Chain A
Amino acid sequence: MKCGRHAGVWITPTIRPHAPFRLDERGRARFNGRMSMFDQTSAFGGAPSTFGADYVCSCHGIVAASQSLVHARVAQTRLAADDTATPQARSMTMPWEGNAASLFRQRLADCASAAQRALDDAEATLRIAGAGA
């Protein structure tokens, strides 16, 4: 996501690791009820649109940004899912025994399954985002 180069108003603080975006006052003024086809900046503010001059609606940029966002989140989920397998594997080699140890190993296995399910679901979301364009 791009960040506006000119002065603007901060509109959304976010926890996601990217630079905060700004309301593009100039671009917003030009919308005037419609998206501008001409020489507009990105809907996200910042650099001039690469597609505005080609008479292409900026909704393409928004959609691409949305897809990129989902893609990034899926990648993050994949990393977490991959990491979840490690404690599960290590728990199997520990000498810890007893009721709580059995519970621990079973719940870690459940976690690993849940992590895989979460990843599968996230990838399905990515496919939906990809197919929807």
Chain B
Amino acid sequence: MMGWQVTSYVSGGRYSTAEREDYASLARLMDDVAADWRAAATAWSSAALELARDQASLTWCSSVVPDEGVTISHSSLPYGTLIQRCSDHAAACEAIGGELDEMSSLLIRAHSLYEDCESWARRLVTETLQMTATALPKHSLFGTAAAVASGIAVGSASEGGFNPIYGLTSTAWAQEGLLSGAATYLGGIHPGLAPMLTNEVNVAAGALATGTKPLKDTMQGDCLTVVEVEPNAMVVGSSTSVAESLENLRRLAEERLGKIDLGSGLSYATIAVQRYRREDGSSAWLVTIPGTDGEWDSPFGWMQNIELMSDDPRQRMQADSARMVAEAMRQAGIGGDEPVALIGHSQGGIVAATIASDLADEYDIRHVVTAGSPVANHPIPSKTWVTSIEMDDELVAALDGAENPRTGNWLTIRGHATRSVQTTPAGVGADGSCAPGNGVSSWGKDFAAAEVTGAPESKEITHWLKYHQAAYRNATDLGSPAVVTHERHFQQVIEGELEETRYYRGRMSLYGASAAPSSAHRIDTDAFGGRD
């Protein structure tokens, strides 16, 4: 049975330059030694051929052919044995060279040694595509359509059935450039300025939001009600790491959409706020924010994404989802000097980045984790560490039209999904019988990739959290110092014992007539910058 696996590439984060140079030097040395072994392999192969030729030459020797009575000495070698051994040596040398190459690649990937080159190449492609899309929009549209169509055709043929998701995969490399090109148009940005900017999408989103916000308010209303709800079962548990928090995020996201049933009774537009008690008695907070649910009265609808992507902080904080999370944080009693970590998926990640950017003076937001969120241009202050996990063909993360900043406080893990043999874990059946697994561990795969848990056989959109979880797992396995440092920072922020987990649900209404209990709090958007 086939499944999917994710290979991760890390950029940004904190590195020691000296250490990095050491790793680069070791990688070069290993490449040299691998080249030596490959040369030896070629030489042994060549030797086998030459010995075969020598052996053929000896067939003319009179020690082989009856001589004519002249007594002379002859000599020979066990050529058959020697030729076989030369071939064996060639194979052994080739294997050692290949092994060294693989380990060198692992070292390079784990420490992002080609990060600068890759980043420049990506930026070059993005800016070139952006300029092309701006100068030749019709041609670009045709080219994009052709790339999508060919991707779908090839992918569907390989899978044996029509699957349009391959259109995203085939255009993954171009998505940021094409989107920023389209945004240059929509945002009314002068094409000459575009190559110097990275926030074209945010400018365009701001322009769009001026039209979509009234439309949304007319359809959905602008009255936000946030209430605390009690779950019937635990959904978001205690966490001590980014990986555990991602798993909690996935549980909450899937529970509220009914994709899993944990019996909690939680519905859409529900977030979790957890208080951790530190050893010194102070509190630390973790806010878990799922993504878009698209329900008609949800503050996490589709149109809120446009406001969240605006380059105008007032527009961002007027987005219903950002208002809801800010209100939940207020109701939970998060103090201005208490450390806070935010983790969000998709729109939840954009909300987290928005709050870290625009409520930086009100809260001590120390760490933000985003999964599949286009947040490259959000002005998150340097005091906040950002760990962004993105899949290269999920499209959503590319909606910012730019690469995330590669700074010490901003770490980006980019995942690339490939097909793999799906494994099943070993277990004990209900009757006590042992069910052997067929698992190939990440170790067995040389940490080339991490398996996506529960992935279907056919290609699906990689925006689902399970792909980001696999990407983070692979990055963690690599032991990149940048990932380790960010992980440690996140752990330090929420270090302590989980004291309480509170869930807050948001609903939109036209007239403010809400069925919320008395604890419900009507959000005044003016509190976050006011309306124009």
**Contact status B73-A60, CB under 8 Å:** yes
| With contact pairs A59-B75, A77-B40, A84-B96 given, residues A103 and B446 touching in the complex (Cβ less than 8 Å) | yes
Collect the chain B residues with CB atoms within 8 Å of residue A115's CB. Answer: 37, 96
Collect the chain A residues with CB atoms within 8 Å of residue B479's CB. Answer: 96-101
Collect the chain A residues with CB atoms within 8 Å of residue B341's CB. Answer: none
Q: Report the minimum CB–CB distance from A52 to chain B (whole Å).
A: 11
Collect the chain B residues with CB atoms within 8 Å of residue A80's CB. Answer: 33, 36-37, 39-40, 93, 96
Query: How many A-B contacts at CB < 8 Å in the complex?
Result: 193
- B interface SS class: helix
Range class of the B interface residue count = 35 or more
**Contact status A57-B39, CB under 8 Å:** no
Most chain A CB within 10 A, of B60, B63, B479, is at: B60
A53 on the B face (CB < 8 A): no
The residue that B76 contacts in the complex, of A63, A104, A107, with Cβ under 8 A, is A63
B53 on the A face (CB < 8 A): yes
The CA-CA distance from A1 to B76 in the complex, in Å, is: 18
The CA-CA distance from A128 to B477 in the complex, in Å, is: 46
B78-116 interface mask toward A, CB cutoff 8 Å, 1 = contact, 0 = none? Answer: 110110011011001101100110110011001100000
Collect the chain A residues with CB atoms within 8 Å of residue B63's CB. Answer: 57, 59
A19 on the B face (CB < 8 A): no
B74 on the A face (CB < 8 A): yes
The CA-CA distance from A127 to B40 in the complex, in Å, is: 19
B57 on the A face (CB < 8 A): yes
Collect the chain B residues with CB atoms within 8 Å of residue A16's CB. Answer: 42-43, 46-47, 50
The CA-CA distance from A62 to B73 in the complex, in Å, is: 13
**Contact status B51-A118, CB under 8 Å:** no
B295 on the A face (CB < 8 A): no
| With contact pairs A34-B65, A73-B89, A86-B33 given, residues A99 and B447 touching in the complex (Cβ less than 8 Å) | yes
B467-494 interface mask toward A, CB cutoff 8 Å, 1 = contact, 0 = none? Answer: 0000000001111010010000000000
The CA-CA distance from A126 to B37 in the complex, in Å, is: 18
Collect the chain B residues with CB atoms within 8 Å of residue A25's CB. Answer: none
Known: A37-B70, A57-B63, A57-B73. 19 other contacts (CB 8 A): A16-B46, A63-B58, A63-B77, A73-B40, A79-B36, A80-B39, A83-B32, A83-B36, A87-B30, A94-B22, A96-B23, A97-B484, A98-B477, A107-B99, A111-B103, A115-B96, A125-B86, A128-B78, A128-B81
